[in-house]
Amino acid sequence: MKEYLKKQYINARGKRSSKKILIIESDDWGSIRIPNKKVQEYLINEKLIQPTDPFSAFDCLENADDYKILFEVLKNHRDRFDNHPVLTTNIVMANPDFDKIKANQFEKFYFEPFAKTYENYYPGCQTFETLKMGIDQQLIFPQFHAREHLNAIQWLKRLQRDDERFLKAFDVNCFAINDLAEGNNRANLMASYDYQNKEEFEYIKESIEQGLKLFEQIFGFSSKTTIAPCYVWNDNIEEIFHKNGILSIQSSYIQQFNKYGKHERIWQKMGKVNKLNQKYFIRNVLFEPALNPKINWVEKALESIAIAFFWGKPAIVGSHRINYVAGLSQENRDNSLEQLHELLKKVQKRWSDILFINSQQLLELYS
């Protein structure tokens, strides 16, 4: 009952629309996490990750087959305007260049574009070309997540002071391990925009500017929306977004507002406009089969969609990449895609006037 009432509260607030709109937002594409099963086993044995953590168990860099099989599911569904469901894929534009970082004694962060990471991980498999095919077929719509899904300065500091745990992970091209250091608000270093002083803020500013330029160079258009990694950002970060063409912010209903290393939880609402005229669009539906197999995610999502439509809100589904990759578990991917197909089938049966759009199109509708 508590969960049900929370959903009602989340959707009761904010601007309304009479349209039955469904958006699927999916984070973390392009970013490395656990490189492969052999590395995963090593990290578990060294107690650097927990095998019970779903992201450590399932999340890895996507490949061409992951994209192709996802596309086949999406192609099975169309709205009354002949639109397929489209994943707004929030892409991490780059990953650490481990060789260059080590050669520079961990003094500076070097990165490689995610398309190069695709080629390094899956040579000759045309993963990036497959992504572009999905864009052309309007099954995927990329938007900017971050330059790297990592608090790079804090990571380098751990490496510079010879943190044994992070050095062990570094040697197998991994950074996504449990962080045991005091003063960290999180259990890892994945919150890219978390900062504790002006120096760290200036670094983040540069990374966002470079990341957005890289986005436009790779895709040929600018990203108008974004989502902060781990939902950690503040007004200063929004100003950087604004100066670089970001018009709306994707978000959970809870923002982790950074105050120089400390976090304040802020409830956001659908369609809220900030002082820079940027709009917030919050995720009011969760579809994360990889996170808990005991939950009936299809029915859970349907309930949330129904509540959103009752209150005249678009249904914005949060569904991370972890659900759609098979590099660590094909069963994980197959199970999630089967449930996604079932969810979309039931959505179309229940709401024949459903409209499938992406996050930028939602911004245009609200504008």
**Domains present along the chain, CATH in parentheses:** 2-366 (3.20.20.370)
Which parts of the chain have pLDDT scores under 70? 182-186, 260-261
Query: Given this model, what pLDDT does residue 7 score?
Result: 85
| Burial zone of 329 (CB within 10 Å; 0-12 exposed, 13-18 middle, 19+ buried) | middle
User: What are the tokens at 117?
Assistant: 């990471």
Residues 6+ positions from 281 with CB-CB distance below 8 Å: 23, 225, 248, 249, 250, 251, 270, 271, 314, 316, 359, 362, 363, 366
Which tens digit of pLDDT belongs to each residue from 250-308? 999 888 998 866 788 888 889 999 999 999 999 999 999 999 999 999 999 999 999 99
CA distance 331 to 329: 5
User: What are the tokens at 172?
Assistant: 């197998």
Which tens digit of pLDDT belongs to each residue from 48-93? 999 999 999 999 999 999 999 999 999 999 999 999 999 999 999 9
Could you give the C-alpha distances from 152 to 51, 116, 192, 235, 316, in angstroms and in order? Answer: 24, 19, 7, 21, 30
Query: Given this model, what pLDDT does residue 183 score?
Result: 62
